[in-house]
Amino acid sequence: MHQRQVDVYYNKYERDPQTRKRYGRRWKRIRDRYISEHPLCEECQKYGRLTPAEEVHHIIPLSKGGTNADNNLMSLCKQCHSSITAREGERWARK
């Protein structure tokens, strides 16, 4: 299965409905503003790499009480976002 299909399946069938509601148009505006203000991956920058950011990550997930406040967001490249998400086990944890 291709990644896009996996993402669609996850968002439609596995993601909590309350969480799904949090990622609508309002989130897209917040995400677009944040990434325009932080165009480089914040994780890569720690290691001196200048990688364009493609994702905005919640440091404390919304499902655990996090918010969309700037101090809870990080701009990340896809690789760093995938690594952090996998390490936290949020999406790929077995139920």
Asked if the structure places residue 30 within a domain, the reply is yes
The pLDDT mean for the chain works out to 83
| Residue span of the structural domain in which 82 resides | 26-88
The answer to the question of residue 42 being in a domain is yes
Q: What is the mean pLDDT of residues 15-35?
A: 79
Cβ atoms of 57 and 76 within 8 Å: the answer is yes
On the question of pLDDT at 28 being above 80, the answer is yes
Q: Is residue 95 part of a domain?
A: no
Mean pLDDT for the stretch of residues 8-33: 74
Report the C-alpha dihedral over residues 79, 43, 36, 19, rounded to 10 degrees: 70
In a domain, 67, yes or no: yes
Tell me if 33 is assigned to some domain.
Answer: yes
Residue 69 pLDDT > 90, yes or no?
A: yes
- Determine, yes or no, domain membership for 93: no
Q: What is the mean pLDDT of the segment spanning 88-93?
A: 60
Q: Is 27 exposed, middle or buried (0-12, 13-18, 19+ CB in 10 A)?
A: middle
pTM exceeding 0.85? no
Number of domains in the chain: 1
